[in-house]
Amino acid sequence: MSAAAANHSALLPESLREDFPILNGDVLEGQPLVFFDNAASTQRPRQVIDAIRRVYEHDYANVHRGIHTLSERSTELYEQAREKVRGLINAEKRHEVIFTQGTTASINLVARSWGDANLQPGEEILTTVMEHHSNLVPWLQAAERTGAVLRHVPLTEDGRLDMHQFDNLLNERTQLVAVASVSNTLGTINPIDEITAKAHAAGALVLVDAAQSVPHMPTDVQKSDADFLAFSGHKMLGPSGVGILYGKENLLDAMPPFLGGGSMIGEVHLDRFTPAELPAKFEAGTPPIVPAIAMSAAIDYLQAIGIEAIHRHEQVLTGLAFEALSQIDGLRILGPAPEHRTGLISFVFERIHAHEFAQVLNDRFGVAVRAGHHCTQPLHTLLGISASTRASFYLYNTPAEIDRLLEGIAAVQAMFAPKGRRRRKSGK
């Protein structure tokens, strides 16, 4: 048995696709939908859609306010969702889990609250050249406000973090290392445990942008010793509008509130207020009640399958796609070998713009991929390109869908090949 065939035993059953109405619906007339844009946002199973309907039909009211039955019910479900998230990432305490709008909101919360209270002129924030704009722009803004300086860890030739340079850049001025656990463009899995150990030894905190890892591989904040961790519900089968900021209790306790308003207060007088205890201190206003409860249903769904099993499934798909794509002349894969990445592959084609590419894949083959800079413009600039095409996988994708992508790529190649060379490999 070949290695690829042996690996197939790690694939999840295709029957789980039946849980996802949109995959079996009529999005595209006459052809099945191949959804390979999961790094941007995933689809939802019926279990999550049902959970949303159930809350609105039976349990909905504002939380932490009324003493009436519905408010008690929705509050209980909302707090159960917090406990579910705590378990997912193995946080020590439930109140270390803050509900936000998403990864972007979570990182901005830390940059505003912790950043403004702690960063001094000349102190350093160490981030990397592969970050999503969500883990760059808030730090650029914090640097503008505080006079702190941003430094960036460069890449190795194959698109991994250059840990030798990380060691060189980390110094006694570094206050925070802000790093993605998985790059949304390269797919690279970064060595978070090593980064936290080294950062802590140098006296710096670590914020992990885990938007692309929590949905795809097991997360344990106590083991990794991350100080802050941010991720989004909509990238893990949950609704949009909800995300998580995990923070260590002592850090969150010491941070000033970010947004002010209802729920985040202890006492309010006309001339002063006191903040509430955690987690309410960071949840001003009406929180994302239904999205949080539905996110809990998404976590149930993922845990019933097993996050490790999902990771293995994606490893098989990525291996298959990587092997096939590497054999296509004129196609350049961004990022490292499959063993260093999760389930996504970005690539560029000489002569064909990513947008044209994605358009044909969608219109003629029903394959939804993302084209553009994927909110990693500095990384694209560094790689000498303005855009790339990205196929990103999740638990419901299949090897047959990868074949469909390859079929589409071959057709696009033939379509855009110079006259007289159609249907032949493009050559160098």
Q: Which is nearer to ligand 7TS, 104 or 426 (CB)?
A: 104
3-state helix, strand, coil in the chain (%, to 5): 45, 20, 35
336, 188 in Cβ contact below 8 A?
yes
Q: Which is nearer to ligand 7TS, 38 or 296 (CB)?
A: 38
In order, the DSSP letters of 280-330 are GGG--SS--HHHHHHHHHHHHHHHHH-HHHHHHHHHHHHHHHHHHHHTSTT
- Spell out the residues 6+ positions from residue 168 whose beta carbon is closer than 8 angstroms to its own: none
> For residue 328, what are the CA distances in angstroms to 294, 347, 427?
42, 11, 9
Q: Which residues form the interface with ligand 7TS (CB under 6 A)?
A: 39-40, 102-104, 132, 134-135, 180, 184, 209, 211-212, 232, 243, 370, 374-375
Q: Which is nearer to ligand 7TS, 276 or 292 (CB)?
A: 292
Q: Which is nearer to ligand 7TS, 105 or 276 (CB)?
A: 105
Residue 30, burial from CB neighbour count under 10 angstroms (0-12, 13-18, 19+):
exposed
How big is the CA angle at 277 (ends 285 and 247), to the nearest 5 degrees? 90
> For residue 283, what are the CA distances in angstroms to 90, 249, 265, 287?
21, 15, 10, 6
Q: Which is nearer to ligand 7TS, 175 or 392 (CB)?
A: 392
222, 92 in Cβ contact below 8 A?
yes
CB of 242 vs ligand 7TS, minimal distance in Å: 9
Q: Enumerate the β-bridge partners of residue 341.
A: 188
392, 235 in Cβ contact below 8 A?
no
Which of helix, strand or coil describes residue 210?
A: coil
CB of 291 vs ligand 7TS, minimal distance in Å: 12
What residues are annotated to the active site? 375
CB of 164 vs ligand 7TS, minimal distance in Å: 23
Q: Enumerate the β-bridge partners of residue 149.
A: 124
CB of 327 vs ligand 7TS, minimal distance in Å: 26
298, 240 in Cβ contact below 8 A?
no
In order, the DSSP letters of 33-75 are -EE-BTTT-----HHHHHHHHHIIIII-S-SSS--SHHHHHHH
Q: What is the 3-class SS of 351-402, one letter each residue?
A: CECHHHHHHHHHHHHCEECEEECCCCHHHHHHCCCCCEEEEECCCCCCHHHH
Q: Which is nearer to ligand 7TS, 234 or 276 (CB)?
A: 234
Tokens of 347: 């690539």
Instruction: List the end-to-end C-alpha distance of the chain, in Å, as a whole number.
Output: 34
Number of C-beta neighbours around residue 236 at 10 A:
24
CB of 3 vs ligand 7TS, minimal distance in Å: 30
CB of 63 vs ligand 7TS, minimal distance in Å: 22
CB of 100 vs ligand 7TS, minimal distance in Å: 9
CB of 376 vs ligand 7TS, minimal distance in Å: 8
Q: Which is nearer to ligand 7TS, 73 or 340 (CB)?
A: 340
Q: Which is nearer to ligand 7TS, 180 or 369 (CB)?
A: 180
Which element (helix H / strand E) includes 406?
helix 399-416
228, 208 in Cβ contact below 8 A?
yes
